Structure 1
Amino acid sequence: ALTASGLAPGRLEIEVTETALLDDKSLTRQYIEELKQLGVRIALDDFGTGYSSLSYLHKLPLDKVKIDRSFLMDVTQNSRSLELLKGIVNLSRPLGLSVTVEGVETFEQLKILALQVKPDLVQGFLFGSALSASGIETMSSTVWPFARDIKTARKASRR
């Protein structure tokens, strides 16, 4: 597929679900290692659901962890959810993994993530469903209403 499309391997990110890892761990690991040798990036999708195991983070050559939306759903009311999200991010970063939080649906969730959890990326219906190229262009030029608050808070925390 890379050859046919001309896409640089580093531009391709394949998401592996934890369910796929359960089916045949050794074969899945072999496929992941082969893809990594090509330069393809690997993300562990829906982390924290089903049969989550920290051993995946330890043993597999992953680039990213995508935290399942179930951890975000009550983050505005539940301090335990917030601490768990921060813990997963703080656990993943020293392992060289980037972190995406899935399921962002409200500005309040986004603000908490930006100010307290600080994942590398977020995704969710707050930003819309799948976009066309023109939709992506519009989205990339949008400035969120609380962006100034985030910049001010970050500057203050550096002092």
Structure 2
Amino acid sequence: MAAESRARLICVMGVAGCGKSTIGAALAEALGAAFVEADAYHPATNIAKMTAGTPLTDEDRLPWLDALGAAAPREGTAVIACSALRRLYRERLTKAAGAPVFFIHLAGEKSEIAGRMATRGGHFMPTTLLDSQFAALEPPAPDEPHLALDISEPPDTLIAIALKELSCLTF
């Protein structure tokens, strides 16, 4: 496959309520890229568990990551909004996508994220699961291709930082 037709996959990751969908969609628009919302790939059983306040297990998440990776575009650039909380999940997503993935970790204080979750409507993830999200979170290690962004910055600033970093990458 020619280099210009290889997929460039960027995953905006972090705990629930950190802004993955907002930042991911804006970043995709700025890049002229496809946007993939991981929540759309959860089976109904996962959504029911989370809606009921039950954290997902690895057994729940691994098939979801496989489906998400399989749905990732095989050419062009795509931005995926996915929690990818643990290294295992990031590796599983990358393997299923069949292409390298660059991760943008949206990091922030639990209190700020809880406040955001409390004011958003129409999402199945209750604020009561935030502690389990932080407990599962393994921030990307230095050997993982990633950029960490502090969500206390305005979205436009986060997008500008991400675009600058991405412009220097070849993947």
TM-score range for the pair, normalised by the shorter chain length = 0.3 to 0.5
What TM-score, normalized by structure 2, do the two folds share? 0.31
Greater relative contact order structure (CA < 8 Å, 6+ sep): 2
Normalised to the residue count of structure 1, the TM-score between the two structures is: 0.33
